[in-house]
Structure 1
C-alpha cells in the first residue's frame, strides 16, 4: 500500500493498466471479428452444399439423392462434412453419424458436439424436410475453424503476457522519466533551501509542462534573490552608515572620562561606563551584521578551497576556551577520529567559536561540553553537546534568524547573530546544521546538540 502512495508508482500502474486494457480490447475485437467471419463462411459452405442436395432431390428423385449421400459417406471428398438422412422421428436412416444429438423437427440450423469423433469437434448443420417426410441434414465439423480460433486465443494469451511485461516496462520507464524530471527540481529546491541561492534548474527548451515549471521556479528564485540582495544591501548600508557615527560617539564618551565633573562623581562615571558598554554592543552588532552579509554574498566553496583538519581546528578552539571553562568549573571533552574537510579555516574556526561559546554560556556550572567528530559516509559529522536548558523543538529553526533570541535569553550578552553567522558559513561550505536534544544534565535539563554535516575530504592514497 505504501508503494501505491507514490505518484510515480501510481503513474506506472496507470500506464501499465491502460496498455493492457488497450491490448485486451484490441485482441477481443480481433477475436470476435475472426470468429464471426469463420462462422459466416461455415454457414455459407453448409448452405450451398445443402442447396445442391435439395436440387438433386427435386430433379433426380429420392433414389438418386440416397445414392449420392451414400457415396459421399463412404468416400468423402471432405472428411469434415457431415451428411444424415433421418426418418420422421429423427432416427438415422443413413449418415455419417449413428445419432443426431439434440435433434428437433422444427430446427433449420443445428449446432452440436460430435462425440463419436476422437476430438469432439463442434458441428454446424442445416436441416430440411423432404416431401416423403424424411429429413436431410448437411453439416460441417468445425475442426479447422475452431483450431484456428484456439491458435488465435493461445497467441493472444502469449501476447497478453508479453504486453503485460511490456506495459510494466513502459510504465516503469515513464515513472522514472517523470521522477528524473521532477528529481532535478527537487534536488535544486533542497539545495536552495540549504542556502545555495545561486542554483537554478536546468531548462531543456522543450516548452513542455516540466520545462515551464522549471522556468517559473527559476524566475521565482531570481525574484527571491533580488529581494534578498536588496535587503542585504540595505542592511549593509545601514550598518556601515551607522557604525561611523557610533564610533565617533564612543570616542566622545571615552573622552568624557577626563571631565572633572564626571571623574569626580562615581554615579556619573557609572552611567558613562554603561553608555560605553551599550555603544560597544551596538558596534559589535553592526560588525557582526556586516560580516554576515559578506559571508552570505560569497559563493559556495569549490575545489580550490583549503584543506582543513577538523581535529586541529577543534584543539585550537578548546585551547582558547579552556580558561573560560575552568573558570565556570566546566569540562571540555573531545571525541572522535581526525577528519578533513575543504573550506575556509577562519570561517570554520568562527563556527566552532560561536557554538562553543554558546555551550559554555548556557551550560550549567560543573557540567560537561562534548565535541565529537565522526565519518558519516561522504560527510564529516561534527557535534557539540551541552547539558543546558536546550531549545524547544518549535523554536529550533527560528533561532537561526537574525536578531532572534528566545525569551529566556534576553538577559544574556550577545548580538543575536551568532547562529545566523554559523548557518551562513555552513551553507557556504555546502553543509547542513541540525539542532536536537543534547546530554541530559543533573538538574533535568535536556541539553542541546548542534550537529554539523560537511562534505568530507578523503586523505590521498599512499603509493
Structure 2
C-alpha cells in the first residue's frame, strides 16, 4: 500500500492496467468475431446439406433418402458430418450417433456434445420433420472449428501474458521517465533551498508540460534572485555607508573620555563605556554583514581549489578556544582523523570559529563540547555537539536567516549572523549543514549538534 502512495507508481500501474485492458478488449472482440464467423459458416454448411437432402426426399421419396443417408453414414465424404433418421418418438432408425441428447420433437436447430467421440466435440445440427412423421437431422461436428478457437484462446492467453509483461515494462519506463523529468526539478529545488541560488533547471526545448514547468521554475528563481540581490545590495550599501560615520562616532566618544569634566565623573565614564560597547556591536554587525555579502557573491569552489588539511584547521581552532572553554568551566573534546577538503582556508576557519563560539556560548558550565571529524563516503562529516538548551525542531531552518535570533537568546551578545555566515560558507564549498539534537545536558537539555558535510578530497597519490 505504501508503494501505491507514490504518484509514479500509480502512473506505472495505470499505464499497465490500461495496456492490459486494451489488449483484453481487443482479444475478446477478435475471439467473439472469429467464433461468430465460424458458427455462421457451420450453419451455412448444415443448412445447404439439409436442403439438398430435403429436395432429394421430395423428388425421389423416402426410400431414396434412406439409401442416401446409409451411404453417407457408411462411407462419409466428411467424417465430421452427422446424419440421423429418427422416428416420431426420437428413436434412431439410421444415424451416425447412437442418440441425440435432449431431443424434442419439432423442427429446430440443435447444439449438443457428441459424447461418443474421444474429444467430445460440439455438434451443430438442423432437425426437419418429414411428411411421414419421422425426423431428419443433419449436423456438423465443430471439431476443426473448436480446435481453431482453442488455438486462438491459447495464443491469446500467451499474448495476454506477454502483454502483461510488456505493459509492466511500458508502465515502469513511463514512470521512470516522468520521475527522471521531475527528479531534475526536485534536485534543483533541493539544492536551491540549501543555498545554491544560481542553479537553474535544464530546459530541453521540447515545449512539453515538463519543459514549460522548468521554464516557469527558472523564471521564478530569476525573480527571487533579483529580489534577493536588491535586498542584499541595499543592505550592503547601508552597512557600508553607516560604518564610516559610526567609526567617527566611536572615535569622538573615545576622545570624550579625556575631557576633564567627564573623566572626573564615574557616571559619565560608565555611560561612555556603554555607548562605546553599543557602537562596537554595530560595527561588528556591519563588518559581519559585509563579509557575508562578499561570501555569497563568490562562485562555488572548484575541485582544484586550495587543499585544506581540515584536521590541522580543527586543531588550530580548538587551541584558540581552549582557554575560553577553561574560563567557562567547560571541556573541549576533539575527535577525528586526517582529512582533506578543497576550499578557502580562511572561510573554513571562520566556519569553525562561529560553530565553536556558539557551542561554548550556550553550553552549560561543566558541560562538554565535542568537535568531531569523520569520512562519510565521498564527503567529510564535521560536527560540533554541545549540551546546551538546543533549538526546537520548528526553528532549525529560520535560525540560518540574517539577524534571526530565538526569543531565549535575546539577552546573549551577538550579531545574529553567525549561522548565516556558516550556511554561506558551506554553500560556497558545495556542502550542506543540518541541525539536530546534541548530547543531553544537565537538567535534560537536548543539546545541539551542527553537522556540516563537505566534498572530500582524496589524499594525493605518492609517486
TM-score normalised per structure 1:
0.98
Q: How far did residue 35 of structure 1 move?
A: 0.5
1:444 equivalent in structure 2? 444
Deviations 1:221-258 (A, max 9, x none): 00000000000000000001111111111111122222
Indicate the larger mover: 260-269 or 113-122: 260-269
2:304 equivalent in structure 1? 304
Deviations 1:193-239 (A, max 9, x none): 00000000001111111001000000000000000000000000000
Whole-angstrom CA distance in 1 between matches of 2:311 and 2:107: 102
Whole-angstrom CA distance in 2 between matches of 1:137 and 1:360: 108
Deviations 1:25-68 (A, max 9, x none): 00000000000000010000000001001111111111111111
Aligned partners of 2:325 and 2:360 also within 8 Å: yes
Q: How far did residue 461 of structure 1 move?
A: 3.9
Deviations 1:79-98 (A, max 9, x none): 00111111111111111112
Unaligned runs of 5+ in 2: none
Whole-angstrom CA distance in 2 between matches of 1:222 and 1:20: 45
After the TM superposition, which residues 62-211 of structure 1 pair with which residues of structure 2 at under 5 Å, given as runs? 62-211=62-211
Whole-angstrom CA distance in 2 between matches of 1:188 and 1:267: 58
2:139 alignment partner, SS class: strand
Deviations 1:128-174 (A, max 9, x none): 11111111111111101111100100000000000000000000000
2:456 alignment partner, SS class: strand
Deviations 1:343-391 (A, max 9, x none): 1111010010011111111222222211111112222111111122222
After the TM superposition, which residues 221-232 of structure 1 pair with which residues of structure 2 at under 5 Å, given as runs? 221-232=221-232
Deviations 1:292-350 (A, max 9, x none): 11111111112232111111000110111112122222221111222111111110100
Indicate the larger mover: 292-301 or 170-179: 292-301
1:278 equivalent in structure 2? 278
2:11 equivalent in structure 1? 11
Whole-angstrom CA distance in 2 between matches of 1:443 and 1:44: 98
1:457 alignment partner, SS class: coil
Q: How many residues align?
A: 463
Indicate the larger mover: 226-235 or 429-438: 429-438
Indicate the larger mover: 62-71 or 188-197: 62-71
2:323 equivalent in structure 1? 323
Whole-angstrom CA distance in 2 between matches of 1:181 and 1:161: 30
1:435 alignment partner, SS class: strand
Unaligned runs of 5+ in 1: none
1:268 equivalent in structure 2? 268
2:213 equivalent to 1:213: yes
1:83 alignment partner, SS class: strand
Q: How far did residue 462 of structure 1 move?
A: 4.2
Whole-angstrom CA distance in 1 between matches of 2:43 and 2:371: 93
After the TM superposition, which residues 241-252 of structure 1 pair with which residues of structure 2 at under 5 Å, given as runs? 241-252=241-252
Q: How far did residue 406 of structure 1 move?
A: 2.0
Whole-angstrom CA distance in 1 between matches of 2:443 and 2:147: 88
Whole-angstrom CA distance in 2 between matches of 1:265 and 1:206: 79
Aligned partners of 2:106 and 2:128 also within 8 Å: no
Indicate the larger mover: 193-202 or 255-264: 255-264
Deviations 1:255-284 (A, max 9, x none): 222222112222212211221111111111
Whole-angstrom CA distance in 2 between matches of 1:168 and 1:46: 46
Whole-angstrom CA distance in 1 between matches of 2:439 and 2:97: 97
1:291 equivalent in structure 2? 291
TM-score normalised per structure 2:
0.98
Whole-angstrom CA distance in 2 between matches of 1:69 and 1:208: 74
Q: How far did residue 448 of structure 1 move?
A: 1.5
After the TM superposition, which residues 341-360 of structure 1 pair with which residues of structure 2 at under 5 Å, given as runs? 341-360=341-360
2:420 equivalent to 1:420: yes
2:370 alignment partner, SS class: strand
1:182 alignment partner, SS class: helix
1:369 alignment partner, SS class: strand
Cα distance change of structure 1 residues 102 and 462 upon mapping to structure 2, 3 Å threshold: farther
1:267 alignment partner, SS class: helix
Whole-angstrom CA distance in 2 between matches of 1:280 and 1:219: 42
Whole-angstrom CA distance in 2 between matches of 1:227 and 1:304: 32
Cα distance change of structure 1 residues 276 and 176 upon mapping to structure 2, 3 Å threshold: same
Q: How far did residue 395 of structure 1 move?
A: 2.1
1:258 alignment partner, SS class: coil
